[in-house]
Amino acid sequence: HRDLHSFPTRRSSDLTSNQFDLAIEGDGFFRVTMPDGTLGYTRDGSFTTDQNGALVNSAGYLLDPQITIPQDALSVTIAPDGTVSVTQTGQTQPQTVGQITLSHFINSTGLNQLGHNLLQPTLASGDAIDGIPGADGLGTIAQGSLEVSNVDVAEEMVNMIIGQRAYEANSKTIQTVDTMLSLVNNLKRS
């Protein structure tokens, strides 16, 4: 099966009510630490906080680099460049608590799919190139949005039916030509 957030770098996004839902607008992948300590890459930006306030993905894997939101944070702002700022009780100015970085690959189609929207680098993909969102060709981050599939199911179904009909028509044409050549071949022998 193919994960929705795997390879295309430009998709539409839907606004959500979760301040930790993040969409990448352009190229790049979020980096998470998997249970075995290795890094996984994903475009799935549906993050939450764990019991310690650390940002984690839907499987509970920590965002890398790790960012912890203070328990008394009144508001959280994630800028397009990945800067995470919070306003806490008794403060008037927001304080920066972390920087989200993105990774990209020379050949993202060479990434190995692990399932659950997680990918790992291979020799074909090359090593991860990390950077600040919005710099060096990386996309920017949209807070309160999630990337959605750019596939229109109805349109794809119609295209599949058209393709199937074209295949059937070509198959019948080949059968007819084969029959005609067989008849011509038999007439030459007689």
pLDDT tens-digit profile, the chain (190 residues): 444 444 444 444 566 678 899 999 999 999 999 999 999 999 999 999 999 999 999 999 999 999 999 988 999 999 999 999 999 888 889 999 999 999 999 999 999 999 888 999 999 999 999 999 999 899 999 998 887 655 456 666 777 778 788 788 888 888 888 888 888 777 777 6
CA distance linking residue 40 with residue 166, whole number of Å: 41
CA distance linking residue 106 with residue 27, whole number of Å: 11
Report the run of H or E that residue 185 belongs to, with start and end. helix 153-189
CA distance linking residue 79 with residue 77, whole number of Å: 6
pTM above 0.75, yes or no: no
Instruction: Return the ∠ at Cα 44 (arms to 70 and 126), rounded to 5°.
Output: 110
Give the Å distances, CA to CA, from 102 to 11, 37, 43, 75, 144.
17, 18, 10, 23, 17
Three-state DSSP at 151 gives coil
